[in-house]
């Protein structure tokens, strides 16, 4: 028995039906607002990805003309992985818009890309840290890479568990 089926003492059936209609109207209004927010967020993410892709292409062209130095290549790799993260977030918004529910897998993929991106950036900075002979910074970078590696393993394990589990309805 649902709450709409219960008729309060001293009131008619029309009061509970009217309350049910109001609840449905409010629920639909919130659903439409949620759709507007998802569309707006999707547009912002799509614009961000496109703008970052265009600026990355310009930076690639300038890098090729300038001799493709290592810092420029690392910057391009960093930007490329950031575009992947934004596209994965856009996919998450798309799935949420269609199903009106959050799916954990895209978030895990975004976390995996972000951790991989940071590992690559920190690893590329190792050469500069070795040149400056700053042992404390090098030690901190090694700890960061170690923790990020553990995080990557945890995210991959979580993805495998989610994909192995039977789909819930």
Using 50, 70 and 90 to split pLDDT, how confident is the model at 169? very low
Question: What does the block give as tokens for 156?
Answer: 């991959």
Per-residue pLDDT, 2: 45
Three-state DSSP class for 23?
A: helix
Distance CA 127, CA 73 (A): 14
Q: What is the average pLDDT across 35-52?
A: 91
Residues present in the chain in total: 169
Q: Give the pLDDT confidence of 96-113 residue by residue, as tens digits.
A: 778 777 778 888 888 898
Q: Where do the structural domains in the chain lie, given as residue ranges?
A: 14-164
Q: Which of 124, 113, 122 minimizes the C-alpha distance to 80?
A: 113
Helix residue spans in 67-167 (DSSP H): 70-99, 104-132, 135-164
Per-residue pLDDT, 74: 77
Q: What is the average pLDDT across 4-29?
A: 71
Per-residue pLDDT, 1: 45
């Amino acid at each position: 028995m649902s709450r709409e089926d219960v008729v309060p003492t001293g009131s008619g059936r029309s009061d509970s039906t009217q309350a049910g209609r109001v609840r449905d109207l409010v629920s639909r209004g919130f659903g439409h607002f949620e759709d507007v927010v998802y569309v707006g967020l999707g547009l912002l993410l799509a614009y961000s990805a496109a703008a970052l892709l265009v600026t990355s292409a310009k930076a690639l062209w300038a890098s090729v003309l300038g001799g493709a130095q290592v810092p420029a290549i690392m910057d391009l790799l960093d930007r490329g992985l950031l575009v992947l993260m934004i596209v994965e977030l856009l996919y998450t918004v798309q799935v949420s818009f269609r199903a009106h529910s959050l799916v954990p897998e895209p978030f895990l993929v975004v976390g995996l890309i972000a951790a991989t991106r940071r590992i690559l950036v920190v690893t590329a900075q190792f050469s500069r840290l070795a040149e400056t002979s700053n042992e404390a910074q090098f030690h901190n970078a090694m700890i960061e890479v170690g923790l990020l590696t553990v995080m990557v393993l945890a995210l991959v394990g979580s993805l495998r568990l989610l994909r192995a589990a039977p789909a819930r309805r």
